Structure formats: C-alpha cells, structure tokens
Amino acid sequence: MNTTLTLTDAPAAAAESQAATPAFSPLYQQIKGLILQSLQASEWKPGESIPSEMELAARYRVSQGTVRKAIDELASGHLLIRKQGKGTFVATHAEHQVQYRFLKLVPDQGDLNTEGPAQREIVDCKRLRATAEIARALALRSGDTVLQVRRVLSFANVPTILEDLWLPGTPFKGLTAERLAGYHGPMYALFETEFGVRMVRAEEKIRAVLPDKSQRELLQRPANTPLLSVERIAYTYNDTPMELRRGFYRTDTHHYRNDLN
Amino acid sequence: MNTTLTLTDAPAAAAESQAATPAFSPLYQQIKGLILQSLQASEWKPGESIPSEMELAARYRVSQGTVRKAIDELASGHLLIRKQGKGTFVATHAEHQVQYRFLKLVPDQGDLNTEGPAQREIVDCKRLRATAEIARALALRSGDTVLQVRRVLSFANVPTILEDLWLPGTPFKGLTAERLAGYHGPMYALFETEFGVRMVRAEEKIRAVLPDKSQRELLQRPANTPLLSVERIAYTYNDTPMELRRGFYRTDTHHYRNDLN
DNA sequence: CAGTGGTCTAGACCACACT
DNA sequence: GTGTGGTCTAGACCACTGC
C-alpha cells in the first residue's frame, strides 16, 4: 500500500486505480511533484529563492530530510540551484554561469570566454503554418501557426552557427524580429522573462551534412565543406516540447564537446 | 577544522597542509575515496557484489546513512549499481543493460535492438611508437609503445562505423589481432576481463569531416559524403586516460543522439 | 549574531528478492 | 523468514552568508 499525503496545499496523489502497477511512489517524490507544480505555476520565478527547507517541511507536514531529498533531485535536474548559507533558487538561463547550457560547441583552442560574447543576427522571422514534420516535433496539429526564425551566431565576428528554429505560435504570441534583434543575451533567457517559458531539457540528433547554397553563403563557407547538423527539441516542464531548432555548426575551428559518464 | 577518520582499514586523509584551502571534506567523501581505492585494487571485481551497507558501515565505523551517501555518488557515476533486495554491484561493460554505454549512435528508425548485434571486423592491429599527439592524449611520452587498432562495425551487415584506436602498450601487453577477432562482445568488456582496465568516463570531440579514400572504401561510401568524426578519450579510475579512439560514423541512416539536462 | 543549506547519527519501518 | 537496499523521522552539529 501507499502512504497518502494529507495536505492543506494540494489534492495529492491521483488515480491510484490501475491494478497492474501498484504505482508506489515515495513521499519525497510526491513532494517533488508539488514543488514542480509551484514552479510551473510560477509561484516562484526564475532567479528567486524558494522557501527554506524548514518552511517547506512545515508546509507539507513532512520532515526536513524528505524535503531535502525532493530538492536534491530537482537540483540535479538543474531546475533548482542550492547555495549554501543563502538558500535554494529557481534556475534561470539568464545567469552567466549557465548561459550556454544547451550549446556544446566550443573553440578548438581556448574556451567561450576567450571568444567573448556571441554576436547574434536575425536573418528572418515570420509566422507560418506548421508542416506535418514540425507539428509532430512540437506536438501541434498540422496547419497550426508557428513562428520560424533564422539567425546567425558569430564569434569574434566569424559566422559560426546558422540556426533555423520553430516555436509554437500561441505561447510566443507577440514575439517579433524587432523584439529578438533588440535583445542581447541568450534567447532562452528572453523566453523566460518575456513569455514565461522555461526550457528544462533537450534532445539532440547530430549528423554530418553538406550545406545548401543559402546555408553556405550565410556561413561564408566554400562548396563541399561539411557542417555539423544539430537538431534539437527543447522541452519545458511536463515534457512539453516548446522549440524545434536545426543548427549548422562550423567544425573546422570549433567542435561539439560531449562528456560521457 | 576537519573531522579525521580513525580507521583500521586505511591511512585516511592525506596532507591537509595547504593553508590556502582548508580542504574540508565530509566523512562520506572520505568513505567514497576508500571504496574507490578498493575498486581500483580490484578487491571487488566487475559484476560482483560489494559488502552490504551495514557491513561497510561497521568496517568504516560510520553510520549506514554515511555509507549510503558515498555509495549514492558512486552509483550516480555508474561505478556501482544498486539493486534493491539484492545488493550493490560493481558496474561492468559486459552487462547487456549498459553494453553500449559510450556509443551514442542510433538508427534513425527503431533502436539498437532492431538491428541486432553489431558485426566487428578487425582491419589492422599493430604496435608502434606514439606520436607527440597520441602521447599527449594518453599521458605517455613520445616514442612509447602503443597499440593501434583499426576496425569496422556493421549493423545488419551494413558497414556503419570505422574506428581507429590507440592503447598504451604496457597495460595492454599481450593484446593481439587474433585475441580481438576471436572475442565477440564489447571491446570494453574484454579490457575489463583480460586486462583489468575498467573505463569509467570519456570525453568526445565531434566534427563533420570528409573521409579520405581508405575511409571511404572501408565504409563503402561515395566521394563527397560527409561523415561524423568522433574523437574519444576514455579514462579509467583516477582520471587516467587509457584509450584514444577516432570514430567515423555514417549519419545518413543513423544519428548521434544526445540528451541535454 | 541568526538563518540557510550540509553532514552525521540512530532507529523504525517499507519494498523487493531469494530461499 | 531473512537479508538487501529504500524511505522517513528527529535531533544535533557544522559550514557558509550576510546583517
């Protein structure tokens, strides 16, 4: 049997009706779920601190250790950031520390700091109807409105990355080329502050490809130069896909770095 | 100040002389270090179970909770595997479950199970002197003996991966082309059972490249077909590099999959 | 100094696997 | 049933931050 929570705060465990799986979930998982709900509902905003462990323990009527374990898991998923002596904070893509969390391209010599900040140029930005492929990736219906953006990232004024990206129209209502061009900083930080959309994780499919003419020109590459194709689907809370992005990376001066554990 | 361990088992915390950093390390980190030493010394071998938490707690004279936290960290680094009700086991590359832990290439349709087991063909295997580049990667001196292997991996009899790899001569004394060809299973599993070398983590640098003639031929690819170049350095305990591997992957039927958190 | 997260303990009980 | 890892609690104390 399962321990059920009695909470002043939320309606606790759902269904529980499936006979096949007893679906035992430990207390700290349920607490984790409740904290997740509060994050999702923006009860605490990116960059802000959440209540202390003791406060949360009192609120959920559990011990501090149980809250701690819930927070530990959220912190290891980079949803929260613990800072000893200060508190626990909602993670944000705006912090310098984790600015390029999803960008694994690094220069062959030196690091991102050597190169200084990226230059961002919006090449194109328009609304259109989702193709079947894009609809599938974003869990929309074919024909739904999506925002399509093409941009070039340069490091030390050398064009290095060309990206096409597609965003679902509804959550990003009001996003324009001007808005993007006027914002200097990580795109995911803009999504957070302006649209309340926080990217939590992503999946990438990587291939070696030969670019077409327009791609070659934007990256100023000669013919027959292969590029790294990086197709990314980024997810917000609840595993909801919120962005499809196709990047083309120069890998003669940079490489995609991956650590395997 | 630091809590110092009094142990029947090992000489506990080193130096402690540096004034700059007080170098506080919690008890469970010290326990983690001791367990790591036992792993390194092959006190417990890959696939075997280690003593229970209670036994280790008694042995190190700490509480079960402290041992638990040490094991938790080792388990999250994939050095140990916990199995509820059975025990804690030394991780191994031989288990089906984690067979291709470092191989992130997956077919565009289906998964690795769809394709069945890989076919491995040893193209070349010889001993030679390390170039400066290879010596640097393997933390050897230029001119030290290294073993160089070239092989082709095929899935459903389609050549998909060409790999060149270099191993330090000393730890892999006695490894021959025959030995490799006669072994059917993951190479890292052979390293474990035959040479006591367990790969613990790896770093990869990924690029898009055009293959040369011999690479093209071994993978049966037409000219001007880009390939994914995956350069990997694999480390054993203590961050000691034990393998340099350059893979060339077909990415027209497969892709390199990466999950970002 | 008070408040926060981090460590450590001791004990109770639960879920799971084997016998 | 016995032994394993997994959860939960309560309380003490430590390390870090900022007032």
Model confidence at B101: pLDDT above 50: yes
- Which chain A residues are Cβ-neighbours of B258 within 8 angstroms? 104, 203-204, 206, 258
CA of residue A21 to C1' of nucleotide C2, angstroms: 48
Whole-angstrom distance, CA of residue B133 vs CA of residue B142 = 8
The answer to whether residues A208 and B226 touch, using CB atoms and an 8 Å cutoff, is: yes
Query: How does pLDDT run across B159-188, given as a tens digit for each residue?
Result: 999 999 999 999 999 999 999 999 988 999
| Per-residue tokens: A177 | 């080329």
Check residue A114 and give its pLDDT.
81
Q: Closest residue to C7 by CA to C1' distance?
A: B26
CB within 7 A of strand C (chain B, 162-201): none
Residue B169 Cα distances to A26, A159, B180, B181, B190, angstroms: 50, 43, 15, 18, 16
The model's pLDDT over A184-206, given as tens digits with 9 standing for 90+, comes to 889 999 999 999 999 999 999 99
Instruction: Tell me whether B207 touches chain A (CB under 8 Å).
Output: yes
Residues A100-127: what's their mean pLDDT? Answer: 91
How far: B99 CA to C14 C1' (Å)? 33
Confidence (pLDDT) at B1: 38
Beta bridge partners of A145: A129
A15 pLDDT higher than 90:
no
| Closest CB from A101, A208, A259 relative to B228 | A208
Q: From CA A50, how far away is CA B238, in angstroms rounded?
A: 37
Give the residue with greater pLDDT, A49 vs B113: A49
pLDDT reading at B12 higher than 80 = no
Q: Are B196 and B188 in contact (CB under 8 A)?
A: no
Q: How confident is the model at residue B219 (pLDDT cuts 50, 70, 90)?
A: very high
What sign results for the dihedral spanned by CA atoms A122, A127, A133, A135?
positive
In the prediction, which pLDDT does A22 show? 61
Rounded Cα–Cα distance for residues A52 and A32 (Å): 15
Shortest distance, CA A8 to any CA of chain B (angstroms): 31
What distance in Å separates the CA atoms of residue B160 and residue B248, rounded to the nearest whole number?
8
CA distance A28 to A36: 12
Residue A244 near residue A221, CB atoms below 8 Å: no
Predicted local distance difference test score (pLDDT) of residue B21? 56
CB contact under 8 A, A227 and B210: no
Beta strands in chain A (DSSP E): 80-83, 87-90, 105-107, 119-129, 145-155, 158-168, 201-209, 227-236, 240-249, 254-260
E strand or H helix at B233, and its extent?
Answer: strand B227-236
| Interior/surface letters A219-232, b for 16+ CB within 10 angstroms, e for the rest | bebeeebbbbbbbb
Q: What is the pLDDT of residue B22?
A: 61
Q: In order of start, what are the domains of chain A with their CATH numbers?
A: 10-90 (1.10.10.10), 96-256 (3.40.1410.10)
Q: What is the mean pLDDT of chain A?
A: 91
What is d(CA B96, CA B98) in angstroms, rounded to the nearest whole number? Answer: 6
**Parallel, antiparallel, or unpaired: how do β-strands A201-209 and A119-129 relate?**
unpaired
- 3-state secondary structure at position A248: strand
Residue A236 phi, psi (nearest 5): -100, -165
pLDDT, tens only, B23-66: 789 999 999 999 999 999 999 999 999 999 999 999 999 999 99
Mean pLDDT of chain B: 91
- List, for residues B137-167, the tens digit of each pLDDT value: 999 999 999 999 999 999 999 999 999 999 9
B75: closest chain A residue by CA: A261
Query: What is the residue-wise DSSP string for B6-37?
Result: --SSS--S-----SS------HHHHHHHHHHH
Q: Which residues contact B228 (CB under 8 A, 6 or more apart)?
A: A206, A207, A208, A228, B206, B207, B208, B209, B247, B248, B249, B250, B251, B256
A19 confidence band (pLDDT: 50, 70, 90) = very low
Q: Return the bridge partners of B234, or none.
A: B202, B243
**Out of A79-88, A92-101, A153-162, A225-234, least confident range:** A92-101
The predicted-structure confidence for A43-95, as pLDDT tens digits, reads as follows 999 999 999 999 999 999 999 999 999 999 999 999 999 999 999 999 999 98
Terminal CA-to-CA distance of chain B, rounded, Å?
Answer: 36
Query: Residue A256 in 3-state DSSP?
Result: strand
Percent of chain B surpassing pLDDT 70 = 92
More confident residue, A10 or B141: B141
| Phi, psi values for residue A16, rounded to 5° | 70, 15
Task: Kindly identify which residue of chain A lies nearest to residue B203, measuring between CA atoms.
Answer: A259
Query: With contacts defined as CB-CB under 8 Å, which chain B residues touch A259?
Result: 201-204
Distances (CA, A) of A48 to A98, A195, A197, B15: 16, 17, 16, 40
B94-98: long-range contacts, CB 8 A cutoff, minimum separation 24: B94/B46, B94/B47, B94/B185, B94/B186, B94/B189, B94/B192, B94/B193, B95/B47
Segment among A125-134, A231-240, B9-18, B132-141 with least mean pLDDT: B9-18
| Interval B225-233 mean pLDDT | 98
What single-letter DSSP state applies at residue A41? T
